[in-house]
Amino acid sequence: DVKVTQSSRYLVKRTGEKVFLECVQDMDHENMFWYRQDPGLGLRLIYFSYDVKMKEKGDIPEGYSVSREKKERFSLILESASTNQTSMYLCASRGQENQPQHFGDGTRLSIL
């Protein structure tokens, strides 16, 4: 089974802090994704990566950046956290394009 591991289930940070969310997958997948999930809005794609050191903006990249230095790890960075970034963050990975995404358990991030 594919295992996608997010480093924290719950995280509380302060406004203005730099926040790192980490995601690791164990299936040598090329593609990795970061989403945020908010009530009534469903899943919105922040960034994705189709290879090491490659990244593409999703639908809502503002206020975020990403890093993919190794194939198995994809990090989401909030450069200067704001309260409107309080949300559930979901990481996913996928092998080839015709394969489904597999998700981690999510990180519930609160910015105070």
**List of residues contacting another protein (CB under 8 A):** 4, 6, 9, 33, 40-43, 45, 48, 50, 56, 90, 92, 97-98, 100-106, 108
Which lies closer to another protein via its Cβ, residue 66 or residue 90?
90
Closest approach of another protein to the CB of residue 64, in Å? 17
Q: Do the beta carbons of residue 75 and residue 21 sit within 8 Å?
A: yes
Closest approach of another protein to the CB of residue 85, in Å? 19
Which lies closer to another protein via its Cβ, residue 18 or residue 22?
22
What's phi and psi for 111, nearest 5 deg? -110, 120
Closest approach of another protein to the CB of residue 106, in Å? 5
For tokens 């450069």, name the residue. Answer: 79
User: Given strand 64-70, what is the order of strands in its sheet?
Assistant: 4-6, 19-25, 73-78, 64-70
Rounded CA separation 37/68 (Å):
22
